[in-house]
Structure 1
């Protein structure tokens, strides 16, 4: 994968193999973290990739739009789910391109299945689809590696300690200010970690 300024994923196809998925996962996690600080979030898919992934999933079995969203979320280990505002217009476009068929099931919901044209395009793009799936697996593995269980435990301990220690303190007391200073110092140390 090519990386642009700031370590964000750039355009173009990247390298293959396990490293490509890991690089993407690191870049996505970094960009997502930066997004949490108010900066621009990373895009999960480059141009046309969501369409290919949807086509691949529909080729596995006919699916509803919501099922496709959940499947993508599962592929990323719960770290990313595309919004309906992105998925449904893509499905409409794919149907207009004769890549998929739309039908209405017994519950009145649209269900999508692949067409011959869609199967042909999917066969042409098989290596690219494999790259996309590998990157999503990398996001999932990165999430597993950075599972926040120990962080959540530490936050729980901190919250309990603060609640117990300050339960009977009055607003503006010196102890409240001391606790706030300790928490601020810890946050500052975490920010400086490399």
Structure 2
């Protein structure tokens, strides 16, 4: 039994810690979603792994209780925006980590244009500048439901305004002509 004063670890580390392909994928996810560390990737993978494990268990089970639990799980994932209407347990097994990372509050703030970068979105959330409805949420990994997504906005006392982001276009340097100097 663990120490009651210490919280349990919320993730499991990779089996092969030095797998190059996994490390590159994790680095890409950290940069793209503005995550703080690989620990956040592992926590998200654990959440996804739990969804899949429960779906496999429910697919193998039979009876009224299994059908009821399966329907409850599908409704929960639809409210979170991870599944479409009319999905089945097989669709739960097709979810990937990007689906879950897109539903984080940090990603929603960035997608709504409240921040210039994913890292700035994280900072706004952590510093209490983001409201979900009438609550101030300071957890960047908070999974935002479809209903709550429309209610995400800047705190009224936040010293920021909504940012109009332009489509990112690559900057090309102007050609320099090499010629005779006089």
Normalised by the length of structure 1, the TM-score is 0.26
Structure with the higher fraction of residues in helix conformation: 1
- Higher RCO (CA < 8 A, seq sep 6+): 1
Normalised by the length of structure 2, the TM-score is 0.27
